[in-house]
Structure 1
Amino acid sequence: MVNVAFIGAGSLTFTQTLVRDILSFAELQETTVALMDIDAERLERIEAATNALIDEHDLPATVEATTDRREALTDADYVITTIQVGGVKPVEHEVEIPQRYGINQSVGDTLGPGGVFRAQRTIPTMLEIARDMEELCPDAPLLQHTNPMAMVCWALERETEIDVYGICHSVRGTAHDIANYVDVPVEDLEYWVAGINHMAWFLNLEYEGEDLYPDLYEAMDDDEIYAEDVVRFDVMDHFGAFITESSHHLSEYLPYFRHTQDEIDHLVERSAYDPDETEFEYSPVCWMPTGEYLEHWRARDPADAFDLDEIDLSLERSGEYAARIIHSIETDEVRRMNLNVPNDGRLITNLPDDALVEVPCLVDGTGVRPCSVGNLPPQLAALNRTNVNVQSLAVDAAVGADEDALRRAVKLDPLTSAVCTLEETDDLVDDLLEANAEYLPAFE
């Protein structure tokens, strides 16, 4: 029997997906699922949903729900984190305050002022979780889903003895996008992807032994396909490889696409986005619905929308990796997937030794074994390093409550530095420190 602890289990949809994935494997159907969240109301709902799923299929699994993190972690075999520190309010500040300075992040959870400040309020809590794990379940792998992925995992790897694996669906999602663009079955797509989280490169792309890149370039010439993924096709055209994450995400990690209103408007004109077909008022700030990301958090699992009779009680498995990792380790079934792991100077040899990289990993009964990639093409590594520079200083800031490192991280951000002077960036940091002081006690 396997014990899996979910920390931050209150996200009904995501936690239910991960639990369903675990229980979809016959070998894992005796799992003890420990659900932990600080929000008792959300916890009660996910407990009810999980029990309903178990009852629907008459499974031997066990559910334990608690608001006590240490109770959930005691003797866990695996720990899954999906936390959001501070709720909605700091997210609003981290998106809306930079907008006043002309920094128009589309999401703000991975890089930029939003990602850097999210790291400052998230890493201390994640370190507390990992230190509890060192005491209560030191051999349990931490399957980490919380953004900013690279910064959080980097801090955990540097400061604790816990084995942490950052899990993101951007590689899998991008594979589906590419398969649609070139009209091949995604299950038959063969690829080798490496880089950093939300900025990993399809270094090889094949179908039935043939290189698919010529087909992808041909697809880019189709106006309708190009309009679906403007930024990623532009990056491929100029730098020679297709990249993970969506175009609206990627646009905020680079200095080329959002630094003036004219450029943002140009993105809107070239994209397939139609403001008349969205439920939110259009804003050229994001070439996407105004506040779409904020609305996601504001509306996330509202209590009055929960109806136990309407939740999905199937055992249909999603494409998420967490359950597959657990299943491979428990059964010795070999799988390959891209995970976020420490570079250790040997996986991607032209990225910093201590960086967090996203590389192919083999998973089986021996655990997770990252694959060596060697050098990335120099232009791809150079783009990755612009983000790694920010991540490194943001980790220093969060771990040491180092305000100088915090300010330098934001000043090195590609989008911020394309828009703001150094003095303006200091003013921005001042405003964010003041607005989110409640969530950043180390910087008081």
Structure 2
Amino acid sequence: MVKIAFIGAGSISFTRRLVRDILSFPELQNSTLALMDIDEDRLEKSRAMTQVLVDEHDLPTTVEATTDRRAALEGADYVMCAIHVGGEEPFRNEIEIPQAYGVNQSVGDTLGPGGVFRALRTIPTMVDLARDMEELCPDAPLLQHTNPMAMVCWALEEATEIDVYGICHSVQGTAHDLAEYVDVPFEDVEYWVAGINHMSWFLELEYEGRDLYPDLREVMNDRESEAYADDVVRFETMRHFGHFITESSQHLSEYLPYFRTSEEQIDELTERSNYREDPDEFEYSPVCWMPTGEYLKQWSSIDPTDAFDLEEMDRSLDRSAEYASRIVHSLETGEVRRMNLNVPNAGPDAEGGGLISNLPEEALVEVPCLVDGTGVHPCSVGKLPSQLAALNRTNINVQEQGVRAALEGDEDALRRAVKLDPLTSAVCTLEEADELVDELLEANADYLPELS
């Protein structure tokens, strides 16, 4: 019987998705699912939801729930993690304080001041988790979903002995988008993607052996098309740098210095994306995600006790596109799969300096990996086109300093990380960046004991 620990199981909708994925495989139904969260209300909802699925399908699965992390980890074969450290207050600060300096983040969970400060409050907890794993389940891989993905995984690889694989759905999600844009069946699309998390590049995109990039350029050049309107930032990035990128336009707009440097610029791109005809309404935007105040309100208004209705819950075992269950299934059964995972660039099969040879060896990269009964095997990609590697390095520079700040409590590294951020450096002077950091340190002191 396989034991799978879910750390951060109070992330109800995400846990429901991962649990359903696991239970969709007959070979994994005789498992122990150990759900852990520090929020008892959320944990109980996840436990009840999981038990409903088990009972509905009369499965031999054992469901456990605990607020004790060590109890969940004891003897685990796999650990899945999706945690948020600190709750609403620091998240709100990390959006609103930079916004006062002109750093208008759309999400703030991956790069920029928001991503760096989220790393500072997340990495110590993740290192503590990995230390427990070293003691209680040293052979279990950590299937890591927590943002900022690259910084968290980089820190864990450097500070611990645990095997960690960063899992994101942006590659397969983007592949779905591209299939729709060029009107071909997703199931028959072949692709080769590499880069860094939230900034990986579709190096090859084919359908029945035919290159789909000419079709994609036609969509890009039709600025009146619905597809272009849905993805302005990614299409414009492709226009200037040659390849389509993973993650959404909403996210990508804050990783680059080109799209969010003024309200006027954001408004212009918003117009081009046919967004928000009624200014009193909000919805997803190819540039803004949604107005910051509304995004915060949406995020903070979720009541964990009302996240879903058990009576109305979908009780099917339909499998999502998430990779975690497929990794477990391949390792348990030997079925060979290929998927993009976040791993150290200096991987075991790296050649010529790294899996991606023109990115730093110490960086976390997102590359195709083969998974089978013998383990996870990252693929060597070679060199990215130089302009793509250059854009990746602008983000890696921030990640490196953010990891230093989190692992060593190094305030100088923290300040360098924010000053190197492409968006921050496009709108702030060096002195303003320091002032921004000062305000965030003061506002979030309770969550940053190493730096307060």
TM class, shorter-chain normalised? Answer: over 0.9
Map of 1:405 onto structure 2: 413
Is residue 70–residue 136 contact of structure 2 (8 Å, CA) maintained in 1? yes
Counterpart check, 1:238 vs 2:246: no
CA, structure 1 residues 332+48, in 2 after alignment: closer, same or farther (shift >3 Å)? Answer: same
Q: Percent identity?
A: 75
Map of 1:171 onto structure 2: 171
Q: Once superposed, what is the RMSD of the aligned Cα atoms?
A: 1.6
Map of 1:89 onto structure 2: 89
Q: How many angstroms apart in 1 are the aligned matches of 2:283 and 2:376?
A: 45
Q: 1:323 deviation in Å? A: 0.2
Map of 2:134 onto structure 1: 134
Q: How many angstroms apart in 1 are the aligned matches of 2:33 and 2:20?
A: 11
Deviations 1:139-158 (A, max 9, x none): 00000000000000000000
CA, structure 1 residues 339+144, in 2 after alignment: closer, same or farther (shift >3 Å)? Answer: same
Map of 1:247 onto structure 2: 249
Question: Helix, strand or coil: the match of 1:75?
Answer: coil
- Which residue identity lines up with residue 294 of structure 1 in the other structure? L
Pick the aligned partner of 2:391 from 369, 379, 383. 383
Q: How many angstroms apart in 1 are the aligned matches of 2:49 and 2:451?
A: 39
Map of 2:198 onto structure 1: 198
Question: Helix, strand or coil: the match of 1:339?
Answer: strand
Map of 2:339 onto structure 1: 337
Q: 1:275 deviation in Å? A: 4.8
Map of 1:427 onto structure 2: 435
Q: How many angstroms apart in 2 are the aligned matches of 1:137 and 1:306?
A: 33
Deviations 1:364-387 (A, max 9, x none): 001110000000000000000000
Q: 1:306 deviation in Å? A: 3.9
Q: How many angstroms apart in 2 are the aligned matches of 1:407 and 1:79?
A: 33
Deviations 1:78-106 (A, max 9, x none): 00000000111111000011000000000
Q: 1:68 deviation in Å? A: 0.3
- Which residue identity lines up with residue 194 of structure 1 in the other structure? A
Question: Helix, strand or coil: the match of 1:442?
Answer: coil
CA, structure 1 residues 435+285, in 2 after alignment: closer, same or farther (shift >3 Å)? Answer: farther
- Which residue identity lines up with residue 152 of structure 1 in the other structure? V
- Which residue identity lines up with residue 98 of structure 1 in the other structure? P
Q: How many angstroms apart in 2 are the aligned matches of 1:406 and 1:416?
A: 13
Question: Helix, strand or coil: the match of 2:139?
Answer: coil
Question: Helix, strand or coil: the match of 1:329?
Answer: helix
Map of 1:221 onto structure 2: 221
Pick the aligned partner of 1:415 from 418, 423, 442. 423
Q: How many angstroms apart in 2 are the aligned matches of 1:208 and 1:443?
A: 54
Question: Helix, strand or coil: the match of 2:398?
Answer: helix
For 1:287-302, what aligned pairs fall within 5 Å after superposition?
A: 288-302=290-304
Q: How many angstroms apart in 1 are the aligned matches of 2:123 and 2:315?
A: 34
Is residue 253–residue 415 contact of structure 1 (8 Å, CA) maintained in 2? yes
CA, structure 1 residues 244+281, in 2 after alignment: closer, same or farther (shift >3 Å)? Answer: closer
Map of 1:64 onto structure 2: 64
Q: 1:312 deviation in Å? A: 1.7
For 1:339-378, what aligned pairs fall within 5 Å after superposition?
A: 339-344=341-346, 345-378=353-386
Q: How many angstroms apart in 1 are the aligned matches of 2:425 and 2:162?
A: 35
TM-score normalised by structure 1 residue count: 0.97
Is residue 265–residue 284 contact of structure 1 (8 Å, CA) maintained in 2? no
Q: 1:283 deviation in Å? A: 11
Count of residue pairs the alignment pairs up: 444
Question: Helix, strand or coil: the match of 2:251?
Answer: helix
Is residue 30–residue 59 contact of structure 1 (8 Å, CA) maintained in 2? yes
Q: 1:308 deviation in Å? A: 1.4
CA, structure 1 residues 215+15, in 2 after alignment: closer, same or farther (shift >3 Å)? Answer: same
Q: 1:274 deviation in Å? A: 2.0
Structure 2 gap segments, 5+ residues each:
347-352
Map of 1:121 onto structure 2: 121
CA, structure 1 residues 358+282, in 2 after alignment: closer, same or farther (shift >3 Å)? Answer: closer
Q: How many angstroms apart in 1 are the aligned matches of 2:280 and 2:143?
A: 35
Question: Helix, strand or coil: the match of 2:30?
Answer: coil
Q: How many angstroms apart in 2 are the aligned matches of 1:148 and 1:278?
A: 32
Q: How many angstroms apart in 2 are the aligned matches of 1:371 and 1:292?
A: 41
Q: How many angstroms apart in 2 are the aligned matches of 1:284 and 1:242?
A: 15
Is residue 275–residue 282 contact of structure 1 (8 Å, CA) maintained in 2? no
Deviations 1:204-262 (A, max 9, x none): 01111011000000111222221111110011010000000111110000001111222
CA, structure 1 residues 357+285, in 2 after alignment: closer, same or farther (shift >3 Å)? Answer: closer
Map of 2:20 onto structure 1: 20
Pick the aligned partner of 1:311 from 310, 313, 318. 313
Q: How many angstroms apart in 2 are the aligned matches of 1:340 and 1:430?
A: 32
Q: 1:293 deviation in Å? A: 3.8
Deviates more, 1:276-285 or 1:376-385: 276-285
For 1:94-113, what aligned pairs fall within 5 Å after superposition?
A: 94-113=94-113
Question: Helix, strand or coil: the match of 2:76?
Answer: coil
Q: 1:276 deviation in Å? A: 2.4
Is residue 3–residue 78 contact of structure 2 (8 Å, CA) maintained in 1? yes
Q: How many angstroms apart in 1 are the aligned matches of 2:334 and 2:5?
A: 21
